[in-house]
Amino acid sequence: MSEGSKVRELIISTIEGAVESSPDETTYRKPLVGFARSQDPIWKRLRLEVEPTHLMPEELLPGAKSAVAFFIPFSKEIVRANREGEAMAPSWGKGYIELNNLINSITAEVAEKLKALGVNSAAQPSTHNWNSETLVSRWSHRSIAYICGLGSFGLNRLLITDSGCAGRCGSFVIDAELEPTPRENKERCLYLRDGSCKICVNSCPVGALTIEGEGRCADIDKHGKCYPRLLSNEEWSGADACGKCICSGPCALKGA
């Protein structure tokens, strides 16, 4: 087995093992893991389409050669609980906190194991790594997951993977060369495929998502509607989360 294959297998086995043995009350499905080269031209699109100051891999880690992204989907029970009513399900809020902590512990564990092989890595926190005024991240985990071939973006602006969109992404970069995961030209969003679904837009309890013109994704009122809703939920749950647009449609549990 080549050195690159060993590193790849170590990363995958560590992520899968951490999810499978998680002590969290929240339950998850099997994670997805993808890879990309740090010199892929697609990285430049992040500064055009996501954030003009979005970090490039080599800015996060000098000498970076590859990026790794992983998606951890929530269990069906967690997702279905959050579909009920207008209020966020307590289990979803708890899951949001526990999964963010799990993602951070996974990147730390992987970093330690890679260091033993002479491979350096660097990561950003799983959440709250954004500008508090613009509410935009300079390291978008879901965008990195797209670059690493894990899915396509839906009307709700979330990454829809082959295991759905009801979960969270983590990512990091390393200074070792890994074989990239192919990015499939596959439309997973039913609205963007044939206009047959707008459940995510219609399910937002504060009407933060709207469809204007021919844009591929819905417009989102982050400052006026979405973020205030998250802060309101944080007051009683401890989690600045909501998840209604994530859990509502058929894309939430795709493949489950």
How much is the average pLDDT of 132-140?
Answer: 85
Mean pLDDT of 136-140: 90
Query: Is the pLDDT score of 213 beyond 70?
Result: no
Q: Report the pLDDT value the prediction gives residue 128, as an integer from 0 to 100.
A: 83
Q: Are 60 and 173 in contact (CB under 8 A)?
A: yes
pTM of the model: 0.95
Q: Which two tokens stand for residue 59?
A: 């800015």
* Residue-level pLDDT at 3: 79
Average pLDDT value for the chain = 94
